[in-house]
Chains A and B, each alone.
Chain A
Amino acid sequence: MESKKPLRSAFVDDYVVPGDVILDLADMTNQTIKLGAGLRQDCDTIQVTSAGRLRLSKPNKYWVENSQKRYIPSVEDTVLGIVVDTKPDNFLVDIKGPSVAFLPVLSFEGGTRRNIPKFEIGTLIYARVVKANSIMNPELSCMDAIGKAAEFGQLKNGYTFETSTGLARMLLSSPTCPLLEALGKKLSFEIAVGLNGRVWVNAPSPSNIILVSEAIKQSESFNRIQQRSMVEKLLAKLA
């Protein structure tokens, strides 16, 4: 039984840049390491391909957490897309990726040729990425794995804005990020966050919507404590 302790990378939770070697496999035998986003195996070494923070999930899963303005589609991500065109078979949806994504007209709960939804250009859709690779256009679906609607579909009213992918992941982290928790205690609003860096906010009054949007946009680089204090200051100003 090999001990796994000496094989933990020295760079875990550090900032890494492309080209850094985080692990040398020469001294490992009969062990599996799972590589997530931003890492690549190069013969005997594991190298970083995107800049960010290296994370380790015990026992052996490594990945790089990075934040960009552009989104690289990957399967099972939930994203917010904007319809740019309608074709007989697909809706063409922009998800801030390198190419426009296809949303088949039948990928809705109970979707048949007779009840195809009518989306005009500019409609906001909350969908799930089903197929994503570098060669083809990504494919979306408005159903979950079972076939139920599960909150997917068109989002009406409210306001959308764009953020970096890192901020979107922070908003979706569990337990709930302190920003949303603090805002939720005083204001009532609903929010949909796409991992592609798009956020939708809705609330009964326009001023609440603007407040929540601005608070989220300002917290791009704040840690937990800063988020909480920023929200407290903001709400104190209003009261």
Chain B
Amino acid sequence: MMDQRWRPTVNEREFIEQALQSDLRVDGRRPFDFRKLKIAFGREDGSAEVELGETRVMGYVTAQLVQPYKDRPNEGTLAIFTEFSPMADPAFEPGRPGEAAIELGRVIDRGLRESRAVDMESLCVVAGKHVWSVRVDLHILDNGGNLIDAANIAALAALCTFRRPECTVGGDDGQQVTVHDPEVRDPLPLAIHHLPIAVTFAYFGDGNIMVLDPTYKEEAVMGGRMTATINSNGDVCSIQKAGGEGVMSSVIMQCLRIASVKAADITSKIKSKVDEYTTEKAVRKVKRTPVLVAKKNDVPDVTMESNDGALESQTSKTPNDAQGISKDPPAIPNDKRHEDAKSRLSESNLDVESMPNSGIAGESDEAKESVSPKSLKDAVKPKHKRKKKQHGKS
């Protein structure tokens, strides 16, 4: 299937180099701009899909208990596996990983292991007998150029959201390990000290023109490539320059300086996406207990509706009606009232989140009663606005 591979034309080759002389890249980027980065997480912990422009990589983290290596009895292990799927590029052959796949795996592995980004000692359960072995699988879904950077981000995002089951050591001899079900005890995150970000440069011309984040076409035409793995503190975790054109040491130093700036930027993006995901997961957990939430809603509803006759169907201090709200929302005849109830529920949900420690319902009820004279006026106005809007819609 050699004829199915994409080849650059003479025109493309010459044009890419010519355009770079005037600092123009064929996709309209400047020489040191990254492509648009999108990070999405899967349903399970430890699954991340990264899109860097057209390049798509999926990272998936799993862990299991194994015996540690003899020379490191109290450290866990970390292994990176890469799969270059033929659907990503017609040049990828199924079966054994080729040179590029092995190089990619090695660069990411070195970046994580040598810099001790993931704490291995915290993965030890029983020294010498049981440790957690963390396995990162990277699947290349679409090769749009610069696989190393995208795969690295996917590995980091997956490691940040991965949760391993909690396990306790017990039993008669203190050697029995019980791995707890995630439903019983919340699984734990990995201890990650810092995020090593891989930044790849491509060289053109005589090694004096360099660009960041090469696309597929630029990679086919480039003279050489260098990957620098740096974290946001400016520590260089690894440098990879495998063959290609020779470059001056001053150029390398400049690349490292640019890379550290970009690494800080990408680190903040990864962290914000991971935080978004973890808070969304936590919120989903809170909403699993609707009864408690409805009870807290009860008090402000009552004080508001005593002034508004139209909504008396929902007014009640009795817990029965509170249960009614949570159990039978469709029982409310008027659609508008139903919408009001839902929006009020969501409003009070926000209250619930801001007061996570008020687990005792009585206390919070009292707190709300004392606040309610103020909140009454505040609550009434928005409610009227809502009603007007609904009238306007209907």
Residues of A bordering B, CB below 8 Å: 82, 84, 92, 94, 99-100, 120-124, 155-160, 200, 206-207, 209-210, 213-214
Contacts and interface: CB of A to CB of B under 8 A. Distances in A.
Interface stretch (B19-27, B179-187, B203-211): B19-27
9 contacts: A82-B7, A99-B3, A123-B10, A124-B11, A157-B14, A157-B15, A159-B26, A210-B28, A214-B28
A155 B11 contact: yes
B9 interface: yes
Nearest to B8: A122
Given A207-B24, A210-B24, A214-B28, A156 B11 contact: yes
B19 A210 contact: yes
Nearest to B24: A206
A173 to B, nearest CB: 25
A206 B9 contact: no
A239 B22 CA distance: 19
Contacts of B11: 124, 155-160, 200
Main secondary structure of the interface of A (DSSP, over half): mixed
Contacts of A122: 7-10, 13
Contacts of B13: 122
B12 interface: yes
A82 B28 contact: no
A207 B12 CA distance: 14
Interface string B156-185: 000000000000000000000000000000
A206 B15 contact: yes
B18 A206 contact: yes
Nearest to A81: B9
A206 B26 CA distance: 9
A158 B15 contact: yes
Contacts of A206: 15, 18-19, 22, 24
A160 B12 contact: yes
A99 B1 CA distance: 10
Interface in B1-52: 3, 7-15, 18-19, 22, 24-28
Contacts of A158: 11, 15
Interface of B: 3, 7-15, 18-19, 22, 24-28
Contacts of A124: 9-11
A27 to B, nearest CB: 46
Given A122-B10, A158-B15, A94 B3 contact: yes
Contacts of A159: 11-12, 15, 26
Contacts of A157: 11, 14-15
A120 B10 contact: yes
A108 to B, nearest CB: 18
Contacts of A92: 3
B3 A100 contact: yes
A233 to B, nearest CB: 14
Contacts of A84: 3, 7
A209 B24 CA distance: 11
Contacts of A100: 3
A133 to B, nearest CB: 18
A216 to B, nearest CB: 13
Contacts of B27: 210, 214
Nearest to B26: A210
A84 B8 CA distance: 10
Contacts of B28: 210, 214
> Closest 5 A-B residue pairs measured CB to CB?
A206-B19, A159-B15, A122-B10, A124-B9, A100-B3
B75 to A, nearest CB: 48
A209 B14 CA distance: 13
Interface centre among B3, B7, B10 (most CB of A within 10 A): B10
A82 B9 contact: yes
Contact of B26 (A82, A155, A156, A213): A213
Nearest to B25: A210
A88 B19 CA distance: 36
Contacts of B9: 82, 122-124, 160
Nearest to A206: B19
Contacts of A160: 9, 11-12
A159 B8 CA distance: 10
Contacts of A209: 15, 19
A139 B27 CA distance: 34
A95 to B, nearest CB: 11
Contacts of B26: 159, 210, 213
B220 to A, nearest CB: 11
A212 B368 CA distance: 63
Contacts of A156: 11
Nearest to B12: A160
A156 B12 CA distance: 10
